Structure 1
Amino acid sequence: MALTWKDAQAVAEELCDRNPELDPTTLRFTELHDMVMKLPDFRDDPEKSSESILEAILQAWLEERD
């Protein structure tokens, strides 16, 4: 299944699985954006991202770590 910006929870789960040692609160949004774009299953326009989407991914990632 291809991931898009609308799949914040699934994107967060993938990031968490791939980066278990990383504290996502240390990331800038530009870094988070780059990480999402590099996910092998991610298929969406980089320009469709927004601060609110990145915040949702970050929040879901934090919840996934708990």
Structure 2
Amino acid sequence: MKWTEVQEIALQLADAHPEVDPLKINFVDLMNWVIALPEFDDDPAHCGERVLEAIQQAWIDEVA
């Protein structure tokens, strides 16, 4: 899974962290959780604020 697979990342984060409110997560934790996903296989340096915002929004939409 790559950074561009925002929807899939959001789904996996929602499954892995059902107790977390995605509105309250900081970007450092979010990035670390994405990198820790078992299927994630991309360069952490390719992550930026826009990517994290997109992942956070997709996660919010998923749990809403």
TM-score (norm: length of structure 1): 0.93
Distance 2:61 2:24 in 1: 15
**Counterpart position of 1:49:** 47
- After superposition, the C-alpha distances for 1:24-65 in whole angstroms (9 at most, x for unaligned) are 111111110000000000000000001000000000000000
Q: Which of 5, 8, 22 matches 2:6?
A: 8
TM-score (norm: length of structure 2): 0.96
Distance 1:39 1:19 in 2: 11
Distance 1:17 1:35 in 2: 12
Q: Return 5+ residue gaps in structure 1 as ranges.
A: none
**Counterpart position of 2:58:** 60
Number of aligned residue pairs: 64
> Aligned Cα RMSD in Å?
0.6
What percentage of aligned pairs have identical amino acids? 42
Q: Return 5+ residue gaps in structure 2 as ranges.
A: none
Distance 1:25 1:37 in 2: 19
Distance 2:62 2:46 in 1: 24
**Counterpart position of 1:17:** 15
